[in-house]
Structure 1
Amino acid sequence: MTAPDLAAALIDAGRQLVDAGLSPGSSGNVSVRDGDRILMTGTGTRLGALERTDLAELALDGTPLGGARPSKEVALHLALYAKNPEHAAVVHVHSPSAVAAACLAPWSDESAVPPLTPYALMRVGQAPLLPFAAPGDPAMGERIAASPHPFRAALLANHGAVVSGEDLARAVDSTIELEEWCRIALLTQGAARTLIAPEHVRALADRWGMPWTGPLA
């Protein structure tokens, strides 16, 4: 994909996230990786109104290569690329249900929310709750690197969510599905809810290539 194509795809991804109600105000950031460089939304930008001048170009070690000043969450993105080297896009949002779920005790060490829907298992897999770090703190990247669990999505305590994907479309889809998963978890919180049966949890996660190493029920 050429540089203009990458920029256009990133701008479109930002609009999709806003249209889905996942990026209020100037919150959230998105990046896409192409070989040894990363294109990332700039600091203070609104994902629904991105222009090419709002994008920053970085090396894989975070060194600025040109464009706008990158989001302060560079460490968060770099850490998830390092964890999932086959992935080429990262989305970070402060979406309402993900933030709310990130303020609650996690369901397990491996996943903050339990296996409630097949789509969560098919599009996200387990999503651990990572300990709190202030926005922009490089410790957020360290939390990802230190986690022993495989994941493509995580909740950031009292903060929001971060998701990676093989490409921008899959990263955006997984982010939208994670928000829906958290919303359903909140709606059923405290109720006598029924989880997906263990044999179906493993079968769905394996079939769709999503990580699930934690409890099955």
Structure 2
Amino acid sequence: MPEMTNGQPVRGPYMHSANGRKIYPFDPQASEVNIDVVAHHLACNGRWNGATQHKQFRSRIYFSVAEHSVLVARYLREEMNRPDLELEGLLHDAPEYLLSDMIRPIKHDPRVHPVYKPLEDKAEYAIAGRFNLVFPLPKEIKIADDAVCAAEARQIVPKSELETWESKDLLHDDTLVAPYEIEMMNPFEAKMFFLDAYEEAIARRSKYASLPFVAKL
């Protein structure tokens, strides 16, 4: 039996969410996942640990998980001809609305990965249940994710000539490069970009899978 307080199960530490509700990173529940909250948090989470800079516009220094996720979904639909996996691509990083974006050198380090991975899996399972996603995510998602990462690395990640940059040092496969311009939207634009992509994906979803159920507010 779970530990109880005042007749209610103890779910571990809670986080504040964008809609004012509590969310529990150690006990995520599918019925509590809210797409607007997911979009908001992913739009406010920066990728590459903030090491980003638009090559043309110096004022653009922020790149969100939300914008990245839309490009992954687009790559699956347009380049890989897998529209059936569009929603999985859009939500592949949705666990980060609970766990934030952890850069790969830390996330995959053997000292960190055994602790982080169970939390990520539990969040991914709850999100898959909420949106009727394939679980675990198929290998095509990783291919699309890496292709978008490769585009980001080429376009918005500065690389000093004083350093040596070799493919063997990469933690993503750069064989394929997504043919998309990285805009580096501000957080509000990225949130709207993500929610628009979600609505479009849902409109196509019934051709391939059952639609998500309605979550608690």
- Greater CA radius of gyration, 1 or 2? 2
Q: Which has the higher contact order (CA 8 A, sep 6+)?
A: 2
Higher helix residue share: 2
Whether TM exceeds 0.5 here: the answer is no
**TM superposition score normalised by structure 2:** 0.28
Q: Which has the higher strand share?
A: 1
> TM-score if structure 1 supplies the norm length?
0.28
